[in-house]
Homo-oligomer: A and B are copies of this chain.
Amino acid sequence: MEKKLPIAPSSKSVRLTAPPSRVKIARALKVLLQNKDFNSITTAEISRVAGVNEALIYRHFTDKRGLLHAVLADYLNDFVSSLKFDLKGIKGAVNKIRKFVWASIHYYNDDRVFSKIQLLEVRNFPGYFESETYQIVRQYAGLLLDIISEGIEEGCLRADIEAVNIRQFILGAIEHYCLPAIIFGYDIDNDRVADSLCEVLFDGIILKN
């Protein structure tokens, strides 16, 4: 049911066609999520803001919840692919981790709608962990796991803690640092937070010889 978004618009018309309704709907939800939580947004509202018929939501998405997942998936795909890109050319697991942390915080800081969905809304949903969306999150987490494993192999990270645990620790810390800013609505000082997080982090996991 969830049709994939075409990565690139059709080559003929670069930006002349009105955005197709699927995009309008997704965009409408994003707009609404800026001020309300998902449960109190109605499909009627979404369609009104999108300027399309309410029933159309169900042509593009299975569900109201499906729509949210799709929106989240868009964000996550975006995030993951730009993260992959950013990590290219960086040498050494430690540097990569630093980049990973910085970029994650950046992304959370940059788009609050994404952050709210990811950190607040989606967890409550039954079936989330079986969802397609969650698979993308696993990709994201997978990226980090690879880096850690690499670091352990390289001998620059502690081998006596399971890589998976290290990963959870890092991801938890990132979320932990970002969450209050998201809930209380203040801005994160990206560099400072990333630094302080890494400081604590590396203190525990980097091997010093």
Q: Give every chain B residue within 8 A of A37 (Cβ-Cβ).
A: 39, 124
For A, the interface residue count at a CB cutoff of 8 angstroms equals: 15
CB-based contact A120/B175 at 8 Å: no
Query: Of B172, B175, B180, which one neighbours A175 at CB under 8 angstroms?
Result: B180
Q: Give every chain B residue within 8 A of A184 (Cβ-Cβ).
A: 172, 175-176
Q: Give every chain B residue within 8 A of A90 (Cβ-Cβ).
A: none
Residues of A179-200 at the interface with B, using a CB-CB cut-off of 8 Å, are 179-180, 183-184, 186
Each complex incorporates copies of this chain amounting to 4
CB-based contact B40/A183 at 8 Å: no
CB-based contact B183/A120 at 8 Å: yes
Is residue A119 within 8 Å, beta carbon to beta carbon, of the partner chain? yes
Q: Give every chain B residue within 8 A of A175 (Cβ-Cβ).
A: 180, 184
Q: Give every chain B residue within 8 A of A39 (Cβ-Cβ).
A: 37, 39-40
A104 to B36, CA, bound (A): 28
A120 to B119, CA, bound (A): 13
Residues of A158-209 at the interface with B, using a CB-CB cut-off of 8 Å, are 172, 175-176, 179-180, 183-184, 186
Q: A36-B124, A120-B183 are in contact. List 6 more A-B contacts (CB 8 A).
A: A37-B124, A119-B183, A172-B186, A175-B184, A176-B180, A176-B184
Please, could you name 14 A-B residue pairs with CB atoms under 8 Å apart, sorted by A? A36-B124, A37-B124, A39-B39, A119-B183, A120-B183, A172-B184, A172-B186, A175-B180, A175-B184, A176-B180, A176-B184, A179-B180, A179-B183, A180-B180
